């Protein structure tokens, strides 16, 4: 995943250390580099936003900071599913005209 633009910090490096950034387990100078990257790179910002949302959700549900990896996978899988459903064009939803309603013909 990358926006294709050159950045001072590579997308790969940002994504590799995303959880350290989320947990602020890195030097302030690195945090600043990541923040600059997120301002320039929307795919990475979206990924960061998603992880942050998952982290908050788990904290609210489980009361713990660390997100168990299987739970993260489940949450991310659901999000992907919802997204794919949202992306999927409405297809052949049968439009029910008055004619095929039960008893309509009897009138």
Q: Which residues bind Zn ion (CB under 5 A)?
A: 11, 41, 44
Nearer to Zn ion, 34 or 75 (CB): 34
Q: Specify whether the CB–CB gap between 18 and 45 falls below 8 A.
A: no
Cβ-based burial of 48 (10 A; exposed 0-12, middle 13-18, buried ≥19): buried
Nearer to Zn ion, 14 or 75 (CB): 14
Cβ at position 15, least distance to Zn ion in Å: 7
What distance lies between CA 48 and its chain's CA centroid? 8
Nearer to Zn ion, 33 or 71 (CB): 33
């Amino acid at each position: 995943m990358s926006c294709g633009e050159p950045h001072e910090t590579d997308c790969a490096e940002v994504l590799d250390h995303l959880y350290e950034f989320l947990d602020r387990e890195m030097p302030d100078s690195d945090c600043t580099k990541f923040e600059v990257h997120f301002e320039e790179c929307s795919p990475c910002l979206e990924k960061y936003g998603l992880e942050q949302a998952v982290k908050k959700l788990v904290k609210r549900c489980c009361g713990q900071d660390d997100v168990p990896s299987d739970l993260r996978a489940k949450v991310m899988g659901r999000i992907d599913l919802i997204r794919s459903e949202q992306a999927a064009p409405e297809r052949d939803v049968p439009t029910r005209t008055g004619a095929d309603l039960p008893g309509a013909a009897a009138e």
